[in-house]
Structure 1
Amino acid sequence: GFSAGDMADQGAKAFRDGQRAITELNEDLRAILGRPGFTCIGIAQALRKMGHTIARKAEEEQATVIHWLLGHYLKHGSDWRQHASDELKAASQSPE
């Protein structure tokens, strides 16, 4: 996955390359950015299992999940859902 440092590096590169605004708000970004907090609980639990440190507050879980999903979107574009799903499925099958 993407770390916060990876995301910052990508943002800095985009800025240096002349990108001054976030990409158009499309269906994929609406699905990620508009994700209700209650839908993040299970993903946050899986991310903890993968080694992510997430405070046990709903807003922390939501922010971390959205950040993680955005990382998949930035890396995989419109295939972000499948890659995120595959990673979550692999985490759920690994022993604790």
Structure 2
Amino acid sequence: MGLFSKLFGGGKSPEPKQVEPVEYKGFLIYQEAIAENGQYRIAGRITKTFDDEVKEHRFIRSDVLGTESDANELMLKKAQMFIDQMGEKIF
């Protein structure tokens, strides 16, 4: 039975990675590339605390890159540009 569960995706899912956020203009950016068919999709979160309440904006882009570090680096640049353009209107 163990062989079949490995072949068909059964069993335990991998533990989520702990991601260290990057602070930018009072926002926290979490780079969370998603592995997909041997490549990595740009994805992540932007958070900011308002009066002890954490607001969060999640996004997944259509862009895919060959390495996780490249996807995370581009995600950071896109998130910074998004913050520059939208500011607190993100939430």
Does the pair score TM above 0.5?
no
From the two aligned structures, give the one with the greater helix fraction: 1
Report the TM-score when normalising by structure 2: 0.39
Report the TM-score when normalising by structure 1: 0.38
From the two aligned structures, give the one with the greater strand fraction: 2
